[in-house]
A and B are shown apart, each in its own frame.
Chain A
Amino acid sequence: MKSSVVCIVAVLIAAAFAASYGSAADEAKIVVFNPRGIQPEIRKIPMGTRQPTLDGKTVYIVDTKYPNTKPFVLELFAALKAKYPKTDWVLRDKYAGYMDDDPKLWAEIKQKAAGAIVLLGH
């Protein structure tokens, strides 16, 4: 009887020790690497000057040609012309696909227009 009590106490002590040891191990702090890569710098681009009015100015509407969105582009073009008739609204398709750049068009807009609306997406 005496030996079985001793045995139970020993088991309890061992269990308590194991639990506290495990808890201490869980609490141990470690150092790990940052898994992320290096982001590039972002150079801020000052925004283009705004004109107080677009009367007598030219504004390009640039369609990036996402598939099957032309009806919206045409409706927007018509609505802007109707609401702001003193502005010369020019509708242009961007070169190639919607992910391709069109530096020629951007240069033309810079030279001829007071602003541009670029659209659209899905």
Chain B
Amino acid sequence: MITQRFKELVTTISYKKGIPNMRITYTPHPITDRPAELCRKYVAGNDPLSGQPMLEQIYAGLTKPLSEEDRKAGFLKRDPRPRLLPADTPDRLMEYFHEQGFTDGNPIILPTERKVAEMLKATSRKPDEWVGQMRPSPPHEAWYYTVEMVAVNAVMAGAKPEYFPTILAIASKGVTSLFSSTSSFARMVVVNGPVVGEIGMNTGIGAMGPFARANSSIGRCWTLISKNLGGSGKPGETFLGSQGNPLSYNNLCFPETEDGLPPGWTPLHVQKGFKKSDSVVSIFSGWSMNDIAWYSPLPNHEVIRGWLEHFFSFGTSQATLVLDPIVAADVAANGFPSKEAYAKWLAEKTGTPGWLYWSQNQNRLKEAKAGVEPYASWLKQGEGAVVPVSRFNRGGRITRNTAFMASKDNNETQTSIEIVVTGGGTNTFWSGGDFGYVGSASVDQWR
């Protein structure tokens, strides 16, 4: 049984799982948070799609004899996959790519044999070498792809051949940028190491904006890869994000401004176990990002702590701070010799707004009301008062979204707060959001 809104999803998933005639009964949508009286009415009523009485349909699903087809084993039909598409005019091919859902809705560069051959020259890897597999979310099937297939999508995204090893490194992680959940995930990729300068990524003014071909097209390519190589991004079937996420066009793709790091602060890739001389992509998953400069008597590290304490979003137990180099310098000058030291301080000094804590910990609320300490004392301050429990200490509540996606790399940090430095130093801006670290991959291995 499933709610009627997910008919497309459940019928296509049943097919892909090998049970095309799965007997399904639908309920009205949504079911979450509906009172018992309404649920009783639904159960006594009809399946909203078939019009048949719900209970009788369920019973029939369990007892109606199987057809010959239902009993059959074997293999189900899949769409053929020719390596090259039938010849056509550029205009018609562009329309065809849009109609087939191969694009992000914007024009692409058509992947001709010449352009793909040029792209392939930028790696020592063979065109038919496997790069990885990707799926829209854990219940979905994984699709597989080769170096050549990634090159096709790199051409489409408008990437220069020199960006190709970086794109292959992202593809090798097998993390879709269009994760299928009713929440609308966003992804972020941070590039570190010599490759940043080699391919002309923008580390300065507007580093996170649409001002450099490398930042833009590498990020865009991840979305095309996710759609075309990872089987993601078909609304209703392989993408369910109710509102979608505008960050998904280019996926927050930017480099860390390594020469803007305060003394003692290590680049992200070094934090993750790579050498400074390595070129690395690091992938993050989240939903949203705020961009803030707050002029107050408080120093920046305190303003950020205050924001973090009251920050609320779907991924409320993890955070990534992207600091402009001048903010990073301010923070370091206030007694934080490393990113890790600042992240630890933030986790220790950050409580949880009462309404959020109590809504997520209903049993604690019951105990508080029954006089159990320390909950009772916390509640005495008022249901909205900040509770002295950090959301960002590892070993506490595990972040929700890690279970939703590709497995995390080994990342034994003490907190769920990541810090990256980028920007041009024109003002004391910093960005904060609910992004969590997923993993890193070497670019050098794909050169």
Contacts and interface: CB of A to CB of B under 8 A. Distances in A.
B410 interface: no
A119 B74 CA distance: 27
Interface residues of A, number: 53
Interface residues of B, number: 84
Contact of B102 (A27, A35, A44, A79): A35
A47 B20 CA distance: 10
B64 interface: yes
A120 B27 contact: yes
Interface string A31-49: 1111111111111111101
A27 B88 CA distance: 8
Interface string B129-155: 000001001110111110011001100
Nearest to B148: A33
A84 B63 CA distance: 13
A117 B19 contact: no
Contact of A36 (B6, B87, B102, B116): B102
22 contacts: A29-B89, A32-B110, A33-B116, A34-B81, A35-B149, A35-B156, A35-B228, A36-B149, A37-B145, A43-B75, A45-B18, A46-B72, A47-B21, A47-B66, A50-B65, A50-B66, A52-B63, A54-B59, A68-B32, A71-B35, A75-B43, A121-B2
B42 interface: yes
Interface in B49-79: 55, 58-59, 62-66, 70-76, 78-79
Contacts of A114: 62
Given A44-B73, A83-B55, A121-B3, A37 B230 contact: yes
A39 B79 contact: yes
Contacts, number: 202
A120 B1 contact: yes
Contacts of B116: 33
Given A31-B85, A34-B82, A120-B2, 16 more contacts: A30-B93, A32-B110, A33-B111, A35-B97, A35-B153, A37-B143, A43-B75, A43-B76, A44-B76, A45-B19, A47-B22, A52-B63, A76-B1, A79-B55, A120-B27, A122-B182
Interface of A: 26-47, 49-54, 59, 66-69, 71-72, 74-76, 79-80, 83-84, 97, 99-100, 114-115, 117-122
B91 interface: yes
B186 interface: no
